[in-house]
Structure 1
Amino acid sequence: MKTLFEIRPDAGRALVLGVLVAVGMVGVSIGSAARAAEDDPVQALGLQVYQQQCAECHGDNGEGSQLDYPHPLQGAKSLEGLTAYIDKEMPPGFEDEVTGEDAEAVARYVYDAFYSEIAQARNAPARIELARLTVDQYRNSVSDLIASFRGRGDWTDERGLKGEYYTDRGFRRDRKKIERIDPELNFDFGIGVPDGDTEKFDKRNQFSAQWEGSVMPPESGTYEFVVWTEHAVRLFVNDEETPLIDGWVQSGDDRERRASIPLLAGRPYRIRLEFSKAYQGVRKDDDEPEIPASIRLSWVPPRRAEEVIPTRHLSPEWAPEVFVVTTPFPPDDRSIGYERGTTISASWAQASTDAAIETAAYVVEHLNELAKVKDDDPEREIKLRDFAAKFVERAFRRPLDAEQRDLYVDRQFDTAPNAETAIKRVVLLALKSPRFLYHEIDPELDPYAVASRISYALWDSLPDDALMKAAAEGRLETRDQVAEQARRMLDDPRARAKVLDFFRKWMKIDDVPDLAKDPSHFEDFTPEVISDLRTSLELFLEDVIWNSDAADFRRLLLDEPVMLNGRLAAFYGADMPEDAPFAPVVDGIGERAGLLSHPYLMANFAYTSESSPIFRGVFLARNVLGTRLRPPQEAFSPLAPDLHPDLSTRERTVLQTSPESCMSCHGLINPLGFALEHYDAVGRFREEDNGKPIDASGLYQTRTGETATFEGVRELAEFLARSDEVADAFVERLFQHQIKQPIRAFGPGTIAELRDAFVTHDYNIQTLLVDIVAKSALTPRQSADLASTGE
């Protein structure tokens, strides 16, 4: 029997072009496969077809061509799945022409030449690249470098701020009448006094109060603090001496005061609020009503609406001052899905210089405090030299040898006109040195390099004293030793902040700056509701990852409850009091399945007035299942509902994406997104769309060639929760976010190794983080390229 290629040679070109476009494959070199084909007739047939019919469009080495197919060839299906795909999903006109043995021959050649992970590693080996600190890593490292001389604030389990109430304006200890922990600052005292206990206070209701402790920002960025009161007030944030807001001298009728400050996530910041209801709060004419007293402390976090600072972000513990670099940096490259520092631009080099100058000025300004010396200390210069040496050691993340000590410290003190100038020079030299800017600069697997890899993997910052001590004592040589340190460091708020940042990026919730919807359709979808939804999502993540030792990834896909407060409950149909705090809710909000149907994600992956099966399907395909999709060939905009007033969203999507050029990708995207059609543009559950019953049926062809079908979000979630493809994709994305390097550079079996351990440990996210750190930290950088090729 003749094959299709013997009957119609042009069919080979159409076959491979159509199939490769559909699955979005990549490869680069055919040399190895060509050699293998010499002794394998099946491979020889595939090679002949490629050379004669496919190279014109895809390039001699699978690199693509600008006119016909500008993308290189890449994919992730198994050989069986690729064969089944070719056999069942040929482009129109060729459905019945390439089946059975012909389909297997083409799939075998493509798989071995371009497609498999081994072929990809052989053709284009991944490398552990020399990378500078990312912007976040730079800011965190400098902040923690300064903090290493002050200590870091403890973030205990107790929440709220310590409040002290006095009968005078001066906060005299002998006038203190009440001491307590206040969960948040939102008080209306009226014309009375705290607790209504007039016997403790002046008969004219004069009193003052101060609240102090620390505040923990949920993410890095600029925070606007807002104080509302009729009386005198001062707010100190991250500074004991200079108030961020100073309204101690009351003038006019201004009741609200605002000021902004940059904060880094994972670090507690000292906060103190001083309040005084003094005699100016009482009318001189006793017949006139007394001015009431109230006070409210709010903030506006990044991408959120104003809110009273929640109890969960407050602690009565006092925190040392935190230095935050304010120099603006150009953004890091995120073109391959995670931030990395593989390029040095002129703007980045200038920013790192400006940041070093900013840091040097801060160190000199606080020199006596940081170095623990006094101006009149007879041994001041000796102590400052020791301080400078420690500064450089901590910046370089390893001890200095004699030559380095001489270059970076002693020579600067010997030639500078005074100690302050010497310190400035030391700081500038250290922070501009490659040994600070590149934490992977040492290829050897020595304990200090391992310590640095651990700390940057978990904290995006330099090692702490405990980790450096473990390195000095040789306790970072085995996997168990690294895992022990990683488990300890996971309890630090900096680790939690970095993991939460991963989920924001994985769910793509920071890519859209504004979730506002069409007010004619969703009038009550206010900025406050949007802000609450973001909080709801983060509370859910925190509960799954940190509030349970199980940290079960499957809960992210399967959990039915949604965290709602009173405002969200009113919007989404649940029965809760108007002022109810956040709590898990199941009843009244429709069928739910973890992140997949969370209202914040459903609103994010939707248009302003309509749902979007395409946006939702792309998210599921790329981020959850790890499928590679090429970008659309031309600008895309949805069909306006007015043009087809009788169609549902699903029907309009099918109509718009029905052309052959679209279905190569939308045949995968649409059926995934359709499973989420029960959720409208703001994530509310619905049974109908445009008067028609919702059709939430969908399907997905797995990498092994099987077709999974599902009806609605619960069946979709159950399929995803047991899918190895989902586990692989999650492992890869988490690894690359934490390590900032391509996972395949650590060996072609790394994904499978980590995934198998992930599954064995019941999908424990914390355990996976530890495994990622151990794998990365103990991989020698010198041999990384050999490891990535399997040699």
Structure 2
Amino acid sequence: MGDKEIIPAEYFFTQVVAPSFISQQKLPPDDASHGYERGIQVDSTWDEATTFAALEASTYAGKRMDRLARTNNKDERRRQKIITFSEEFVSYAFREKLTTEELHKYVHSKFSDKTPLHTSVEKIVLTALKSPRFLYPEWQALAKKEKDSYVVASRLALYFWDSIPGKRMHSLIERDQFLKKLQVENQAKMMLKDSRSIAKFNDFMKQWLDMKNKELPSLSSKKFPDFSSALALDLRRSIFRWIEESVWKENISWQAFLKMDKIQVNEQISDYYNLTYPQDKNISGFVEMNASKLNRSGLHTHPYILVSHSYAEESSPIHRGVFTSRKILGRTLRPPTEAISFRNADFDPNWTMRQKVTEFPKAANCMSCHDQFNSTGFEGKARLGMLQKSGKPKPFGGGKNSQI
């Protein structure tokens, strides 16, 4: 069990959100050998997973068809409304306006006097979600010589939202509002403001900063008794508050984003790193401080990044250097010719981490690669991210943990 705390305000929605279906079926992981998920893995396990997900969705639709079609048992037009909903569902799934023949094949042929309505709906949903026209988004573009509004809108929805065009976008598609460059740019700007775009960008940031699918960093309780999981979470929140302010509100440049000239801190972070937190009673939560005054040198020196790329008891310039070289500088690093585990006990206890890092790879003849990232490891920052001028942390703020 972690530390209990009041749920932060940024985790709440400030608007009503329509109910959504979320499949519980686990899909096999996408290929990520290039450093990002490419969605190219199509095999029997993937086909089986999509089949079970489609079955789950079809059952959901069959049970809730009246709500989805906005009708009820007493409605004289109930059957027709359910058919209309089914037509729209297939059209949305295929990202295309259906012909009369296609409507008959995928929708109308599934309805009969002998078949219960919910069974017809289940068949339609299952057929649509297992169709290549739904599963392979580029199928539509490849089948056309000219890229019409359907193709452009479908690509925008996929790139920005990992989704398909919704009702509003379909109304624009019907008026061919995705053919001119200015129309596409204006629509893209509107789509960027959608919470789905923000969520996708944040997911990219988690992957880029090595935060995805990783637990919060933990420290040795003996050496750092005051460092808690709550503090680690606040440091993580600090990064995403910076992203929210700089990207979505201030719209700063990519260079300014990497420079990270400001940092978000709250009272808990300020107390731990001996920073001056505003005493104004009207101020609560996170506040913005000038990062240059706190010995910050960019996004990659944020204390959360430094802590999460270190060992439990001391810093790790190798981990930090590899992260900076790959993620920030975009360098390609070869895997080690010989895997050697770093054991602190193998070195003289009086050695600095720089001495250990310099000596460590010599035996394995790995210096050609280590020369690329050792210098970017920021050994000048201690395990918690505070400044140190030698091998041991040197507090300079007069407090227990120095400044960040």
Question: What is the TM-score with the length of structure 2 in the denominator?
Answer: 0.89
In the alignment, is residue 409 of structure 1 matched against residue 129 of structure 2? no
Matched letter for residue 328 of structure 1: K
Deviations 1:171-191 (A, max 9, x none): xxxxxxxxxxxxxxxxxxxxx
In the alignment, is residue 656 of structure 1 matched against residue 360 of structure 2? yes
Work out which of the residue numbers 361, 367, 377 in structure 1 matches 2:75: 377
1:581 matched residue in structure 2: 285
User: Quick one: structure 1 residues 316 and 561, their matched pair in 2 at CA, closer, same or farther if it must change by over 3 Å?
Assistant: closer
8 Å contact kept, 2:261–2:292: no
Q: Which residues of 2 match residues 624-635 of structure 1 at below 5 A?
A: 624-635=328-339
2:7 matched residue in structure 1: 309
8 Å contact kept, 2:306–2:385: yes
1:289 matched residue in structure 2: none
TM-superposed CA distance for 1:539, in Å, is 0.3
SS at match of 1:585: strand
Alpha-carbon distance in structure 1 between the residues aligned to 2:41 and 2:56: 23
Work out which of the residue numbers 36, 41, 54 in structure 2 matches 1:343: 41
Alpha-carbon distance in structure 2 between the residues aligned to 1:348 and 1:415: 36
User: Quick one: structure 1 residues 679 and 409, their matched pair in 2 at CA, closer, same or farther if it must change by over 3 Å?
Assistant: same
SS at match of 2:324: helix
8 Å contact kept, 1:639–1:652: no
Deviations 1:538-568 (A, max 9, x none): 00111110111x3222222223332111111
1:645 matched residue in structure 2: 349
SS at match of 1:666: helix
SS at match of 2:254: coil
SS at match of 1:308: coil
8 Å contact kept, 2:31–2:39: yes
TM-superposed CA distance for 1:537, in Å, is 0.7
TM-superposed CA distance for 1:334, in Å, is 1.3
Structure number with higher helix proportion: 2
User: Quick one: structure 1 residues 379 and 590, their matched pair in 2 at CA, closer, same or farther if it must change by over 3 Å?
Assistant: closer
Alpha-carbon distance in structure 1 between the residues aligned to 2:379 and 2:270: 21
8 Å contact kept, 1:416–1:422: no
Work out which of the residue numbers 317, 327, 339 in structure 2 matches 1:613: 317
1:553 matched residue in structure 2: 254
SS at match of 1:414: coil
TM-superposed CA distance for 1:364, in Å, is 1.9
Deviations 1:39-96 (A, max 9, x none): xxxxxxxxxxxxxxxxxxxxxxxxxxxxxxxxxxxxxxxxxxxxxxxxxxxxxxxxxx
1:470 matched residue in structure 2: 172
Deviations 1:576-610 (A, max 9, x none): 27994111234898301331210110011111112
Alpha-carbon distance in structure 2 between the residues aligned to 1:305 and 1:451: 45
Work out which of the residue numbers 334, 340, 346 in structure 2 matches 1:636: 340
In the alignment, is residue 572 of structure 1 matched against residue 273 of structure 2? yes
Matched letter for residue 607 of structure 1: Y
Q: Which residues of 2 match residues 253-402 of structure 1 at below 5 A?
A: 306-315=4-13, 317-402=15-100
1:431 matched residue in structure 2: 129
TM-superposed CA distance for 1:386, in Å, is 1.0
Q: Which residues of 2 match residues 496-515 of structure 1 at below 5 A?
A: 496-515=198-217
Alpha-carbon distance in structure 2 between the residues aligned to 1:434 and 1:463: 17
TM-superposed CA distance for 1:499, in Å, is 0.8
Alpha-carbon distance in structure 1 between the residues aligned to 2:216 and 2:199: 23
Deviations 1:603-635 (A, max 9, x none): 111111121111111112111111111111222
Matched letter for residue 452 of structure 1: S
Alpha-carbon distance in structure 2 between the residues aligned to 1:588 and 1:519: 30
Alpha-carbon distance in structure 2 between the residues aligned to 1:448 and 1:692: 61
Question: What is the TM-score with the length of structure 1 in the denominator?
Answer: 0.47
SS at match of 1:584: strand
SS at match of 1:689: coil
User: Any gaps of 5 or more consecutive residues in structure 2?
Assistant: 396-404
Alpha-carbon distance in structure 1 between the residues aligned to 2:164 and 2:391: 53
TM-superposed CA distance for 1:401, in Å, is 1.3
Alpha-carbon distance in structure 2 between the residues aligned to 1:692 and 1:597: 17
User: Quick one: structure 1 residues 624 and 482, their matched pair in 2 at CA, closer, same or farther if it must change by over 3 Å?
Assistant: same
1:119 matched residue in structure 2: none
User: Quick one: structure 1 residues 525 and 589, their matched pair in 2 at CA, closer, same or farther if it must change by over 3 Å?
Assistant: farther
Matched letter for residue 48 of structure 2: Q
Matched letter for residue 473 of structure 1: R
SS at match of 1:405: helix
Deviations 1:294-332 (A, max 9, x none): xxxxxx9xxx86432222333453333222212222222
2:389 matched residue in structure 1: 687
1:492 matched residue in structure 2: 194
Higher RCO, 1 vs 2 (CA within 8 Å, ≥6 residues apart): 1
Displaced runs of 4 or more, over 6 A: none
User: Quick one: structure 1 residues 590 and 637, their matched pair in 2 at CA, closer, same or farther if it must change by over 3 Å?
Assistant: farther
TM-superposed CA distance for 1:366, in Å, is 1.7
RMSD between aligned residues = 2.4
Alpha-carbon distance in structure 2 between the residues aligned to 1:613 and 1:415: 72
Alpha-carbon distance in structure 1 between the residues aligned to 2:40 and 2:134: 15
TM-superposed CA distance for 1:638, in Å, is 1.9
Indicate the percent of aligned positions where both proteins have the same amino acid: 33
Alpha-carbon distance in structure 1 between the residues aligned to 2:295 and 2:257: 15
TM-superposed CA distance for 1:427, in Å, is 0.7
